[in-house]
Amino acid sequence: MARLLVVEDDQTIGQVLQASLQQHGHDVRWQRTGRDALRDAAGNTFDLALIDLGLPDLDGTEVCRRFREIQPACVLVIVTARAEEMDVVVGLEAGADDYLTKPVRLAELHARIRAHLRRESSANEDAELVEIGQLRIDPAARRVTVADHELSLRAKEFDLMLRLAREPGVAVRRETLMADVWDAQWFGSTKTLDVHVAAIRRKLTEAAGAGQVPEIATIRGHGYRLEPPAAPASG
Ligand code: CA
């Protein structure tokens, strides 16, 4: 769960942003002024902050500049009603990583946040080996093996496999899988997901001769869950 800070003085916009981000599984704090935001940043670590440029007390670019000094690793996204290119440039120079213009389209907001957070986490965690039963996933090499048998997975099949394998035994929502693997807000059919799951299942079945493999269980009306293989019976 990512820790997000919303800095926005407009009550309605702030509420919409906070609620929508929480619905997407983020831990969200909301501050209405630049000073409160900086105070919050001094006491809490955030993964990403959305900063309105038009704040009542401090200029948003000034908030960015100071925020950047307090938390160098936090992703800063400025939100501006001022469409002037100059404001955006000043904001980016003040330390912001990205910007959005008002009115903020939520689908775009979530897509951007996801892209930013993914970039952050891929730098830290993505190389970690995942082992479930005799299935072994090497994210750095993008290889999946069962004993000495290598599964030949296509790019998105690999990403989906890895996503499920990072939380074995956990039911993962379809929307979450679409968002994490396809990096897009998915409004239409999620047929793509089912097709990829079917392909992975087929390849897991083929590999089952080589050793114990997990299964992908369908959770009706919800999503999928990677089931670790049962522990071998003793004796
Ligand atoms: Ca404002």
Contacts of 71 (CB under 8 A, 6+ apart): 41, 45, 46
Q: How far is the CA of 124 from the centre of ligand 1 (A)?
A: 34
Q: What is the pLDDT of residues 90-106, one digit of tens each?
A: 777 787 877 788 888 89
Neighbour-count burial of 165, counting CB atoms closer than 10 A to its CB (0-12 exposed, 13-18 middle, 19+ buried): buried
Q: How far is the CA of 31 from the centre of ligand 1 (A)?
A: 12
Q: How far is the CA of 9 from the centre of ligand 1 (A)?
A: 5
User: Which residues have a beta carbon within 5 Å of ligand 1, which is an ion?
Assistant: 9, 52, 54
Distance CA 126, CA 139 (A): 6
Q: How far is the CA of 14 from the centre of ligand 1 (A)?
A: 10
Tell whether the model's pLDDT for residue 148 goes beyond 60. yes
Q: What is the pLDDT of residues 36-85, one digit of tens each?
A: 999 999 999 999 999 999 999 999 899 999 998 898 778 888 898 866 66
Q: Give the count of beta carbons closer than 10 Å to the beta carbon of residue 82.
A: 14
Q: Which pLDDT band holds residue 188 (cuts at 50, 70, 90)?
A: very low
Q: How far is the CA of 69 from the centre of ligand 1 (A)?
A: 22
Percentage of the chain beyond pLDDT 70 is: 88
Domains present along the chain, CATH in parentheses: 3-121 (3.40.50.2300), 130-227 (1.10.10.10)
Q: How far is the CA of 64 from the centre of ligand 1 (A)?
A: 14
∠ CA 192-194-196, nearest 5°, is: 70
Q: What is the pLDDT of residues 220-232, one digit of tens each?
A: 989 999 998 876 5
Tell whether the model's pLDDT for residue 123 goes beyond 70. no
Contacts of 150 (CB under 8 A, 6+ apart): 143, 144
| pLDDT in the model for residue 183 | 62
Q: How far is the CA of 43 from the centre of ligand 1 (A)?
A: 23
Tell whether the model's pLDDT for residue 147 goes beyond 80. yes
Q: How far is the CA of 173 from the centre of ligand 1 (A)?
A: 35
Neighbour-count burial of 113, counting CB atoms closer than 10 A to its CB (0-12 exposed, 13-18 middle, 19+ buried): buried
Distances (CA, A) of 141 to 126, 133, 138: 11, 19, 6
Mean pLDDT value across the chain: 85
- Are 216 and 151 spatial neighbours (Cβ–Cβ below 8 Å)? no
| pLDDT in the model for residue 121 | 60
Q: Which pLDDT band holds residue 184 (cuts at 50, 70, 90)?
A: low
| Strand order across the beta sheet in which 48-52 lies | 27-31, 3-7, 48-52, 75-80, 98-101
88 or 110: which carries more pLDDT confidence?
Answer: 110
Q: How far is the CA of 82 from the centre of ligand 1 (A)?
A: 10
Distance CA 231, CA 153 (A): 26
**Over residues 142-155, mean pLDDT:** 87
Q: How far is the CA of 13 from the centre of ligand 1 (A)?
A: 9
Q: How far is the CA of 92 from the centre of ligand 1 (A)?
A: 18
Q: How far is the CA of 41 from the centre of ligand 1 (A)?
A: 19
- Are 134 and 145 spatial neighbours (Cβ–Cβ below 8 Å)? no
